[in-house]
Structure 1
């Protein structure tokens, strides 16, 4: 059993997962990440330039922004995204993403629905900080808060974080952190090439419909 509620409380207690995926799996996964994302960055160079121009025309501020996230083994790294919010969106601090977020620009809403804002993360993948498939990396402040109520939240960092994951293709914005983490640990315990390919195909479906979790 991966998770259980502690008696008389709403604190979730997570069991440490057995990490699946041997050396062969990790080699194939890494090779696929580098080749696919490297080629995507070349093919998408012109569309990315058009996206950048659209962002600049709609609102002031940088086209691409970086945000600190918690990676494998708790290492902090900068994740890259096309800016989808107004520049003063987080003057009051970090907030959990919601489906209807007033901080998001009109074009930003479209980018989020189609996951276009995530394209710069292909560079994170090429660098080895992320993979195409894995638990989504979260911000340090959120991780610290979640760990207080979800004991074992940090087990998500036992593998390289992903651009998409089982939680992202299973539910929507309504999924709670305690629901997402159970799916993340399920992935860690059962990951294999066939599962990754299935999640990639489901992610493409999410991109086409604009549904699913982030």
Structure 2
């Protein structure tokens, strides 16, 4: 497992990301153009996330919601800002494609615990912090076992189980089941509610 974890997995990650980005470049370019139009020149969503060993990096995703605000200058509810093309991109998980760039940069892995907001780094307990022992991934064990419909504590338990059982065979299984999830569009939003795609972590939930 150590040879795979420390040598083959990083190598396969970068090769897969480079080849994948080349293979889907037409989709990448078309999606970028459509979202540039829908979001008035802003096709990408960039946000600070917590990475391996508490490092902070900027995740890159396709931007599925515009920045429309109400009369008081507050952002409108999610479902009012979610564009038609953004909804399609989200439901098909195309919004995750730019994270291949994060993999090439070395911030992420193809498979691992999903990277959470950097602001959460200070509130993880000793058990939860174990999820940062590996690079975060585009998909992972928690994503194929409930995704956004899981509680944070359940996600963390699944993440840590993955880390303790990491293997090439398990990664292949996760990739296969991820493809099934993508085509079924299950668990993208919590209980089908577009208002909340993922609840905030408070250190307890």
- Segments of structure 2 that go 5 or more residues without pairing to the other structure are 190-205
How much does 1:101 deviate?
A: 4.7
Task: Report the TM-score, using the length of structure 2 for normalisation.
Answer: 0.81
**Is residue 137 from structure 1 mapped to residue 98 from structure 2 by the alignment?**
no
Moved more, 80-89 or 116-125: 80-89
Number of the residue aligned with 1:178: 153
Structure 2 match to 1:199: 174
**1:68 alignment counterpart:** 48
Higher relative contact order (CA 8 A, sep 6+): 1
Cα offsets for 1:43-102 (capped at 9, x unmatched): 22221111112112223241123110000000000110111111258x869x9xxxx854
Partner SS for 1:173: helix
Paired with 2:127 and 2:171, the residues of 1 have a C-alpha distance of 24
1:131-166 residue CA offsets vs partner (Å, 9 max, x unmatched):
010000000224445x3xx55322110111101000
Q: How does 1:7-156 map to 2 (within 5 A)?
A: 21-88=1-68, 101-145=79-123, 147=124, 151-156=126-131
| 1:163 counterpart (113, 118, 138) | 138
- In 2, distance between residues paired with 1:144 and 1:102? 32
Q: Cα RMSD over matched residues?
A: 2.3
Task: Name the CA shift for 1:183/1:103 in 2 (closer, same or farther; >3 Å).
Answer: farther
When the two structures are aligned, how many residues end up with a matched partner? Answer: 185
SS of aligned partner of 2:26: helix
Unaligned segments of structure 1, at least 5 residues = 1-20
Deviations 1:157-195 (A, max 9, x none): 011110100000001422111110000010011110000
Contact 2:108 2:136 (C-alpha < 8 Å) held by counterparts: yes
Q: Name the TM-score, length of structure 1 as normaliser.
A: 0.78
CA separation of 1:101/1:140 partners in 2, compared to 1, >3 Å: closer, same or farther? farther
Question: Which aligned segments of 4 or more residues in structure 1 are displaced greater than 6 angstroms?
Answer: none
